[in-house]
Structure formats: C-alpha cells, structure tokens
Structure 1
Amino acid sequence: MDFQKLLLEVGKSLGQDELKALAFLCMDLLRRNPNSVDSFPDLFSSLMDKDVLSAEKPQLLTELLTIIRQPRLLRDLHLSAQITSNYISAYRKLLYSLSEDITDEDLRSMKFLLNSKVPRRKLAENTTLDVFLEMEHLDLINETNLNKLEEIFNSVCPVLNLKIDQYKAEMGRPRSLSLPSESNEVPASFQRTGSLGRGVQPMPPSFLPSMNSSNSSDDVGQVGVICQPLPTNNVSYGLNKMETQGATMTEAQKQMEGLETYPMTAAKRGICVILNNNDFSKSDVSLKDRVGTDVDEQSLKRVFEWLNFEVQIHRDLVKETMLSVLKMLGKGDHSQMDCLVCCVLSHGKEGIVYGVDGCTVTIKELMDPFDGLGCVSLVEKPKLFFIQACQGNKEQKPVEIDGREEEDDDDYICSDARVTESIPNGADFLLGMATVPSYVSFRDRTNGTWYIQSLCQNLIQMVPREVDLVSILTKVNADVSRKSCPYGWKKQMPQPAFSLRKKVIFPVPKMPPPDA
C-alpha cells in the first residue's frame, strides 16, 4: 500500500482522543504545542517534515500505534508489531500511561489540588493530558522532577506512584543517600556547603565511592554518592566506544556511536560569561565574602579563552544586574557563534543564587533568556551552564553552612553546592552541578572549588584528545569522588543534567594549553 494512503487509513481508523494522544507523545519531535495539531494529516505531515516518518522510516508509526494499544490496526495495515525505534521518550510514555489510568473522579481531585498553582480557566474543560501540559508549562513537572505529581497522587491515587518509581528505576536516576552522623572531632576548617534535604536515606559505608585520602592543601572534605548523569528527553550521553576484550557492544552502545556532533566551525566559539559574586558586605542578609572565588574566575577565564570563547566577567552583582546582564546577552546576536557558556559563582540556597544585595535569583531565571523563545540565534546550539553556589542550609556540626552561620577567620574551607532546579524543557541545555541532589561541596580559600578546578583541569587535558563534554564531566565526577579530607570522611560527587541532542566536542585549540 502507498505510504500516504496508509497514513490516511490510520487517520480514518482513529478518533480525536487518539489524535490528541499521538500529538502529546510527539510534542518533543514536533516542537510545537500538541493542541495546535488539528488533524491526522497535519500531524503526519509535520512528522514527515521533521524527517522522522517516511515510507523508508515507518518505525515511528509502529511505535505510536503500539503505545496507544492498536494491535488490530497494526495487523490490518500489515505493519510490523515489533518496535524497532525509540523516538518517544520514556517520560512522554510515562505521562501517557498515567493518563490512561486516571479516572474522571481522579482528574477532578487533581484539578482541585492544583487550584493554587494553575489558573482555574486553564483547568476548566481540560483532559488529563492537558493538565500535564499545563504543569509542564509552569515547570511543576519535567523529565527529572516529578515530585509535584507524586505529591498529588499520594492524595488522589497512591498506586500510580508505582509507575513513577518504575520510571525512575529504569532511567537509572541516582538515589540520594546520606552519610552516618559525623564525629565532633572533624576539624573546624571543613565547612558545609549544602543541605541534606528531602528524599535522603541512610547510606551504609560500603556504598561510598573509593577514597584516596590526601593531606595536600587543595584537597578539601566533601560528601557525595555514586550516581549517573540524569537522563532527560533527547539526552546525548556522549559515551566513547568501550573496547573490552571478549565483549560485544550492546545495541545502546552502537546507537551512541551514531550520535551527531554539534557544529563547531565559527571563527569565534561563543561568549563565556562569568558572574562572580564575592563581596557580600552590603547584603541585606548575613552572607560572608566568598574568599577564594577569584581563583575559580581566573581558571575559567584562561581555559575558555584558550577554547576560543570571548570571556565576559561581571563581579559583585545585585540581583537586578545579574538578570539584566543575562537578558541583554540573550537579546544579542549569536548567529555567528557555535554555543554559549555561563558560569555563576555565588552564595545560594535551594534552587536559587544570591546577588550581593542579598536578593535571590532562581536558576530558571538565569537560563530563561536563552531558550528558543528568548534567543532565536541560539536555537539548536548548546547552552552550557556551570553553577557553583550553596543550595542548602541544614546544619551538620561541626561543618558550618555557607552564608548562614558564622565563619571562623582561620577556616580555609568554605562552601558552594549543587542546584536542585531542573534544566529548562527546551533542548540543547546542559547544567553542570557541583554535587548530587541535597548534598554539599566545598570552596578552598586558597585553591578554589574542587568542582570548578577539576572542570578546568579536565578540559585542558581532554579537549586535545577530542573527548566530548559529557564524557569530560563524567571524568570530573570520577576525579572529585576520589578526593577526600585528611580523615577520609568528607566526599563530593558532581552531577550534570542535560537535554543535549548531540555530542559537544570543542575543536582542538591551536594555542598551547594554559597551566592547569
């Protein structure tokens, strides 16, 4: 049967509910609001325009009809019932599967619980998929954060959380684990940078990453867990080929080998903006100066200039100036550049960073100016963010909290930690975090932070070997996890989250690398 006629038959065999479901499942491929898809010809034409559906590539059609449970239609149209593609993300499949199990009564209860978060007119006649879309639009849920949905299901239909638990397990998301209680004999020079927040479970010592104790001045104590990078929709892990004696490559590894690479051909690689907040003497809240952050600033400047970026440094910014700098940068013309890098060095607490006036900026506010709507000239180009800022304040004596407790003038270890805010829904973002959720990292007053220093050193060592950025960040994870305080009690594990669709491989610079 002619492929166009086959698609027409599919459309005739399905109704408006199925159209809505297929548009929802394909929204990441279509890059448009699924509610704007008004017919099956519209849907199929859009998918064909995106080059994901054709007579030569009918696999997406099979996948979609299988997800919405249309085995008879597959058989009648003589389509293979075996799924050989994976165009639809596990996240989309999860939300669709949940919608199938939510009754009308459950939906009414969900809308009631969302009244304070979502405008009532947005909930009036909406289906479950519409409610999910609105929650995504308001950033209440995304691929790596389903907390709000789990909270609602706990009240409405707790059994649905089993599907979310299964999704998390299949996605390989890290389990946040905490160390046993610390002895009060830990030197006061080790200062906390984050909090042990929600979802933390005890961790037996056997689960700790292997430690190499060191007494050198740049080895500072940290807390962390073993984890993998957070998978998100359209994630590209950028793994290198694994060559093991007697081993065969898995199908997943073969697929990784076929990943594309973002173009890196512009005369100027892009802009690297560094927001470095150190002097908090005029802050409205009690925040200490971030001694040692200038070391990180200089390291980042040297490395990204070497990588052919135009480095722009802004120091000691109040909230409004931080936002203004990034909004102006987002409005600029990046059409002749390959990508964008933004490094933020500041105090913070969960989900936010501080301006030097003590006012807070959410991580999302920092990244919003560069999404597809805010910065058209960066569409389909990688936007790389590296955040070094304290994200919690739970006390764990004798380690004190950056910006929340008194700091001994003799302490050389201060604090900075990870970001719990998720990356934007759009593609091509990477958010590099100093540590895994709810855990802490440290700032050495003399040598800078472990995370930023390891990032810079590994870029210098691995870019000349043409290693992709996510693999470099995996090496950063490994290096930082091996460090420890002199007693081996404090550990840290960084973690990237990203929605990259291709590998980020920086061209090898012609200039010799800077000193590590």
Structure 2
Amino acid sequence: MDRRILAKIDDELESTEVAELCFLCRDVISGKRLEGITDAKQLFLRLEEKGLLENNYFLSQLLRTIRRADLLSHIETDSRQAEETDAQPALSQYRMMLYKIYDDMTKENLEKLKFLFNNDQRRKMELCNTALDVFVEMEKVGSLSNGNLSALYDMLREIDQQLASTVQNYMQGVPRQHQPSLPVSVDLQRVNNTPRPQPFLSIPESQLSCESESVYADAQSPTEPSPPPDPDSMDYYALTHNPRGLCVVINNENFLGIGLKSRGGTQEDAQALKDVFTRFGFEVEIHNNLTAGNMRTVIRMLGQRNFLRDDALVVCVLSHGLKDIVYGTDEEQVKLSELTEPFKSNAARTLAGKPKLFFIQACQGRQYQRGAVPCLPTQAQAEVETLSHWEADAGPLSNETVPWDADFLIGMATVPNCMSFRNTATGSIYIQELCRQLRKAAESSEKDDINTVLTRVNREVSRREYLAYKQMPEPKYTLTKKLVLKYVSADLDHVQK
C-alpha cells in the first residue's frame, strides 16, 4: 500500500486509537513486536512485514472496528480493487469481541473489574488504564484466551450482565469452529449407520448391474467368452449416457458473520460453469449460500445417488478458504476430504471406475505468490549438478503421494498456503480461465483430455499478474484414463438413454 496514504491515516489517528489497533493485531503480530509502538506508522510497518497491507481489506477491517470508517476514503480509491482474494481475513472475531467489551465498559465497571483480581494480580491491574490493558495482562498469565473465556465471563457477570452476554453470545457461536475435528471416518459413521461396503473388483461398465454381479477368479472364465476389449476404450473414459452425469455447484457469496467478506463476481463463475457443463451434456445444480452444515448435507445426499446411468460426476465449490478447507456462509470450516470421501469406490459403488472432477475456487492460505525470472540453461545445469550432490548426501527425495482414491481429479485455484484472485465484476481468474479452456478444447478437432486443458489453465493463469502478484493453480489427479469433454449435439439420437 502507498506509504503516503498510510501517513495520512496516521496523522488522523489519536494515541488511544493506535493502542486499540495494536490490541486488535495481537493475533497476527507478537506482543513483543508491538511493545514500544507509539504511532500508527510503526504499526503499519509491522503489518507490511506480515504481508497484511498488500490489499485494503485487513486495514479496512481495523478502521471499521475502531469506528474510524471516515478514514476509508483514503484507501478505497484504488481502481485495482476489482480484484480480491478468497483468503480468510486475519482479524479474529475473538479479539473483536474483546474490543466490543472494552468499547461498552464504563470507567466505573473497569474499576470493579480490577478489584475482582486477587492481591498479586491486582497490583498489575491497577497500572492498567483501559480494559484492553487488563485483557493483555490476563492473556500473559494464561487466564484469558480464545479457548479459555470462563474467568472473564464469571467476572463480568459480577459487574454487568450486558458485558457478560457479549462473551456468552460469542462462546455459543464459536465452539464447533474451535473444537477438535473428528476423523472423517467417524463423522461418516455418525450420519450413516449402514455398514461400510466391502472393497470389490471393478468390472467394465457394460457388465455392471446393481441386481447381479459376477466376479471370476484369474483361472476361471465365464461360460460365454467376452469379446476382446476395444483398445481405444481402455485409454479413454466412456461418455455414452444422456445426460452424461451431474454437475453440482456450491456457490457461496454472502457470509453471515463479520470475518469473511462477500465474494462479488462469484455469480459470474457459477453461470460460466453452468453454461459449459450443460453443453457437455451434464445436468447442472447450483446451490447458493450454504452453511458448512448444509454443504455437508448436500454432499452426503449426493453420495447416496445411484450413479449407474451417469458417466461422471462434477463438483465445483466457490467460497473462501484456507489450506485444505473451504468455508460455509456461517464461517465454519469444511475439510476438502469431507467433500470427496462420499464418492470413493467403497462408498459410492456405482461411481467406481468413473471420473470424479472437483474444482475448488478458494484460497489455500494468506501468502502471496511472487514471480521469478527463469535462469539461463547454463545456470539451470549448474543448479541441477549442485542439487544432485545434495541429494547424494541427504538421500533421494520421495515424490509426494496424492491423497485421493482412483479416478479423482481435484482442480485447485492455487497452490497450498497462497491466495487466489477474483474480479468482483467478471468472476475469479481460475474458474473463468478453466471455462475458457474447456470451451476451446471442446471446439477443437483434437482429442485434448482434461489434463491437457488444466495444463493450459496453469500456463495462462500463471503468466499474468494480479495486484502485482502471481497465481499458480494446482491440479491433482488419480485418473486412470483420459477424459475428453466435447459438446453434445442437440438431438443426441446416437446417445444411450
């Protein structure tokens, strides 16, 4: 952010407001780094070091929280702000809750609060000028934290029920988000008490039947020998049904709390996905603004579908996110594994051997991706030689395993720990490029498979800059055949129904 803009904001902030900003930043900047800060310029330098001033959102949250929205005019004139990220804002609701208590607390109640501490603690508390100072001291001795609010709640009940209700309301709204998550397998058992089906051998789709299945041992053959398989069919997934399958889009735009910003432009993404997958012959369902619980319900019900007459499944999630998770509109987390688990072959038997495509438009962290100039061939060779020596000393590097079962493709908008970008008018960079490349491949006479398409998406997205930063999509797959998506003709007379 422009230093001149930050200087203007600093000029209009009082010392008490700077102290309030420092308190709100204690979850992203260590207390030691905040000691000695006397003006906003020093705080802004600390925030810059953390990459929290690369766009306007975090600073806007801070100014709104301390009721200085009048200063937003300084930072909302940048025309580039049509581009946003889908990362979780770093300003915690826990700290904003404490700020609200401070803001509502009278001097009389502050003195009562100090009096409630024991003699050893009270000496330190007497030096505190505000409730924020009291909260910091409580955090230092471990009697106050996001997971430990009981002491504060009990004291506030003694002095002001309204202040205590602020803590109570926060505690009632937060627990599920902060309780340790149960393993996915336990969660699946909780919502579905039917016994887990045993692993089975997949057979060609033409032989698959829900009523009757025949599996032969290696030395055993059926009475009527089957014809030799078509060599081409062993390389490509079959797309023969009408419709091809189901495409489900979970499109989260408006969030219920104050921690996550509305995702302007996401409707453009949902429409683009609907248009392209409808032309591919898929039924498209769009679910707008789902809470985490509703997201799980939609996915669970989808997993119970009979996919016998489907060739493939497509699931698209458009939301805020962090590494390996996406957010519901209630700002609660859903693990990516929860989205894919119901469609593994041991859970959705009629999807076994069929492609399952997941496209996730969400950030995977708060870091920004930067660019680097490729080195010359001679430099590259020198680096390879250097690395080979290190490998000999440290042992060979093992390839990272892909944590998905067969026939999955997971298209992530960005690599782990980094942000993805979205234009508030035209949609996200990743989804719009994905749809463009899918259309281009569908209209081509070549049989470009989905991996080729996603490689082109990687290239096109990574070559551009967004707010002076880069974005690098990341596809992961365990596909066992090539998947080629082409437009379906209107009459579909030749297609099996």
Normalised TM-score (structure 2): 0.46
Greater helix share, structure number: 2
Normalised TM-score (structure 1): 0.44
Bigger CA radius of gyration: 2
